[in-house]
Amino acid sequence: MQANVQLGELTTLRIGGTPVRYLHPRSVAELRSALAECRRDRLAWRVLGGGSNLLVEEGLLPYAVIHVCAPGFDRIRRPAHAVIGAGAGVPTARLLHYCRDRGLGGLEFLAGIPGTVGGAVAGNAGAWERHVCNAVRRLRVLRPDGRLKTVRRAALRCSYRHLELDGSVVVEAEFQLEPRSTELIGAQMNRYARQRDERHPLGVRSAGCVFKNPPGSSAGRLLDLCGLKGTRVGNAEVSRLHANFIINRGGAAAEDVLRLIELMRRAVRRRFGIELELEVRHWPGRSKAA
Ligand SMILES: Cc1cc2nc3c(=O)[nH]c(=O)nc-3n(C[C@H](O)[C@H](O)[C@H](O)COP(=O)(O)OP(=O)(O)OC[C@H]3O[C@@H](n4cnc5c(N)ncnc54)[C@H](O)[C@@H]3O)c2cc1C
């Protein structure tokens, strides 16, 4: 356990306070102990991966944060020719390079999405109409009661940006891939990365898309039509490049981001009668946490 860990240093939006307890397990056994400790102390807990899809409030956070990352969960293995198993803490970019170098395709669409394998699977990350859970062969998860369970693909309950985990922690994901030439995979990854460069604000403090796309539409387009690009609350700003991104211009408070989110939501509701749903995960502070 480490004291005084600021989640603002572990999230890409660079906002977030200090959890009452920060646990950094280095193995499945330690993860099991961390869960048992939270149970024993009647402490709510949340899992942190790469912190790239989170809006965390400031101050003392009334829950434990269990950080699933390297070095405990960063192993990649190859149990069969076209099957790769990756620990939940493996950075998604590292997994993609590993697959490319071995001529195994199927995950190229993840190129440029930050974060870890655990976070990608837990949020069913995707792009260009593809979703990571479709490539999962099976998952190893640790249930809240400490039992290790294997979930086969057919039993996964996933939908757009969602995987039902019932409180389990992803420990490892096995992917079913397709043999393909390294050059083709590399070229496809570069193409996706280039398209991202053109459309998304990269290299700035953000947590990716704020809202999910409503059925048959694009949240970014609706927000753009509302004229919201460049709108600011404090130091939080709607990106001028992509209206579904909020940028922390430096020193933004979670409250600024939350007020901007409300403003964006209201504008789309008024103009189009559409209720936008958050894609970013909101971790509340002491006054609001359940
Ligand atoms: C510039 C930028 C571009 C992005 N583009 C995309 C995109 O195109 N498509 C897309 O889908 N996302 C995108 N994102 C969002 C984000 O990168 C992805 O959702 C990513 O997969 C989250 O992984 P993470 O490890 O950072 O998860 P975190 O942000 O740490 O956590 C996200 C959620 O997953 C849970 N979680 C994390 N690890 C585990 C685990 N081991 N077990 C159980 N639950 C876990 C957390 O509790 C939390 O609820 C983008 C973000 C940025 C900053």
pLDDT at 2: 61
Cβ contact 135:107 at 8 Å: yes
Q: Which of 7, 113, 117 to mutate to test the pocket of ligand 1 (most atoms within 8 A of CB)?
A: 113
Q: pTM score > 0.85 for this model?
A: yes
Q: What pLDDT digit, counting tens, does each position of 118-145 carry?
A: 999 999 999 989 999 999 999 999 999 9
Bridge partners, residue 233, by sequence: 236
Q: Hey, which of 22, 35, 52, 67 would you mutate to test ligand 1's pocket, going by the most ligand atoms within 8 Å of its Cβ?
A: 52
Q: Which CATH class is domain 203-283?
A: alpha beta
pLDDT average, residue stretch 245-261? 98
pLDDT at 290: 47
- Dist. CA 274 → ligand 1 center (Å): 25
What is the fold of 76-198?
3.30.465
How deeply is 270 buried, as exposed, middle or buried, from its count of CB atoms within 10 A (0-12, 13-18, 19+)? exposed
* Per-residue pLDDT band at 1 (split at 50, 70, 90): low
Share of the chain above pLDDT 70, in %: 98
Residue nearest ligand 1's atom 3 by CA: 208
Using a 6 Å cutoff on CB, does residue 16 contact ligand 1?
A: no
Write the pLDDT tens digit of every residue in 31-70: 999 999 999 999 999 999 999 999 999 999 999 999 999 9
Contact 120, 113 (CB under 8 A): yes
User: Topology of domain 7-67, per CATH?
Assistant: 3.30.43
**Residue 54 Cβ contacting ligand 1 at under 6 Å:** yes
**What is the overall mean pLDDT for the chain?**
96
Cβ(208) to ligand 1 under 6 A? yes
Whether the pLDDT of residue 248 is over 50: the answer is: yes
- Tens digits of per-residue pLDDT, 209-236? 999 999 999 999 999 999 999 999 999 9
Q: Which two tokens stand for residue 97?
A: 């390079």
**Domain assignments of the chain as residue spans, ordered by start:** 7-67, 76-198, 203-283
Instruction: Render pLDDT for 147-194 as a digit per residue (tens, 0 to 9).
Output: 999 999 999 999 999 999 999 999 999 999 999 999 999 999 999 999
